[in-house]
């Protein structure tokens, strides 16, 4: 009975917060929850969407970025935005007045392919991510009305998972949108979610463009300290980006770290 009550309570809480995100509007909700976090920035380069992130005043291609999963197991960061006037030459704003969609992508770490990875964060000198196999689910959600919610869920499988429309750019190609990210265990509760670091990859698209390369969101669950979290992000970045010689052979040198110092 207690398990049922806890599950119902959690379901109601998640539903309420998702509704708040959708009904209040992304702009208002972000004002309260965005401080201290980086948005994923979106643009176009050579007919392909590109996802970027700001690090220390420099806008770079998104390979991996850290994010926090609160004790509620519901997060609204990172958000999604556009800062076209800060982009490198050759990178433009997304298409105007056009839907922006995402998909979850399976990716490879240490020879394993999965759409959701986990590391227990026990030893910074022994980082080893494994595919989630205990029934833990990671879901993205966007409530667009009291009666309709878009969701997409990954659970450690080997397949890509179709996402949904994050939002539509304005007539000026602008975008500032937040959706929900939440986690549930195999019983649709949260009691059995293990503390640690979880990694999930997303790609972004607009009609008529090639989808972006996947970028990995590295969520910290529980208290592990900034150093462990940053080490996990760096580990995944190293695994996702080929060595410089390989980049040159592939003609990707310019995309390994696109960015410039923002003008303050």
pLDDT (tens digit per residue) in 66-77? 999 999 999 999
131-165 in b/e form (b: 16+ CB < 10 A) is bbeeebbbbbbbbeeeeebbebbbbbbeebbebbe
The tens digit of pLDDT for each residue in 180-196 reads: 999 999 999 999 999 99
8-state DSSP, 85: G
Asked if residue 17 is part of any domain, the answer here is: yes
Considering only residues 241 and 116, tell me which one the structure prediction assigns the higher pLDDT.
116
Distances, alpha carbon 199 to alpha carbons 177, 190, 239, 251, in Å: 21, 18, 13, 27
Asked if residue 261 is part of any domain, the answer here is: no
Asked if residue 262 is part of any domain, the answer here is: no
Mean pLDDT over 208-225 rounds to: 95
The tens digit of pLDDT for each residue in 152-165 reads: 999 999 999 999 99
User: What are 182's two structure tokens?
Assistant: 């939440």
8-state DSSP, 211: P
Q: At what angle do helices 26-33 and 2-24 cross, to 10 degrees?
A: 110
Asked if residue 210 is part of any domain, the answer here is: yes
Q: Whole-angstrom Cα distance, residue 60 to residue 52?
A: 5
Model pLDDT, residue 28? 34
Whether residue 25 has pLDDT greater than 80: no
pTM: 0.81
Model pLDDT, residue 244? 53
* Domain around 97: 2-256
67, 32, 188, 102: CA torsion to nearest 10 = -60
Helix (H, G, I), strand (E, B) or coil at 42: strand
Enumerate the β-bridge partners of residue 117: 131, 199
Distances, alpha carbon 223 to alpha carbons 45, 120, 121, 144, 219, in Å: 38, 11, 10, 33, 11
Asked if residue 53 is part of any domain, the answer here is: yes
Model pLDDT, residue 56? 85
Count of structural domains within the chain: 1
Confidence band for 112, pLDDT divided at 50, 70 and 90:
very high
Considering only residues 37 and 64, tell me which one the structure prediction assigns the higher pLDDT.
64
User: What are 42's two structure tokens?
Assistant: 């979106």
Asked if 20 and 72 touch (Cβ cutoff 8 Å), the reply is no
Model pLDDT, residue 181? 99
- Per the prediction, the chain carries an average pLDDT of 84
Helix (H, G, I), strand (E, B) or coil at 93: coil
Mean pLDDT over 7-15 rounds to: 42
Model pLDDT, residue 224? 81
Asked if 143 and 18 touch (Cβ cutoff 8 Å), the reply is yes
Q: Whole-angstrom Cα distance, residue 154 to residue 177?
A: 21
- The C-alpha R_g of the chain, in whole angstroms, comes to 18
Q: Whole-angstrom Cα distance, residue 46 to residue 213?
A: 13
């Amino acid at each position: 009975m207690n398990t049922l009550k806890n599950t119902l309570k959690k379901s109601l809480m998640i539903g309420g917060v998702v509704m708040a995100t959708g009904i209040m509007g992304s702009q208002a909700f972000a004002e309260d929850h965005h401080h201290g976090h980086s948005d994923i920035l979106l643009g176009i380069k050579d007919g392909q969407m590109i996802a970027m992130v700001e690090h220390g005043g420099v806008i770079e291609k998104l390979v991996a970025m850290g994010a926090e999963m609160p004790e509620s197991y519901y997060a609204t960061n990172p958000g999604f935005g556009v800062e076209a006037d800060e982009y490198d030459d050759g990178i433009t704003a997304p298409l105007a007045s056009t839907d922006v969609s995402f998909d979850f992508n399976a990716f490879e770490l240490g020879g394993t392919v999965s759409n959701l990875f986990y590391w227990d964060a026990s030893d910074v000198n022994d980082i080893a991510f494994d595919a989630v196999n205990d029934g833990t689910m990671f879901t993205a959600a966007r409530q667009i009305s009291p009666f309709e919610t878009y969701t997409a869920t990954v659970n450690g499988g080997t397949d890509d998972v179709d996402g949904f429309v994050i939002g539509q750019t304005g007539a000026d190609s602008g975008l500032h949108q937040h959706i929900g990210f939440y986690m549930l265990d195999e019983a649709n509760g949260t009691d059995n979610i293990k503390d640690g670091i979880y990694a999930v990859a997303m790609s972004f698209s607009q009609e008529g463009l090639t989808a972006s390369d996947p970028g990995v969101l590295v969520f910290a669950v529980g208290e592990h300290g900034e150093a462990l979290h940053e080490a996990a992000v760096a580990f995944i970045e190293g695994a996702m980006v080929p060595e410089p010689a390989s980049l040159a052979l592939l003609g990707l040198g310019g995309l390994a770290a696109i960015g410039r110092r923002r003008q303050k």
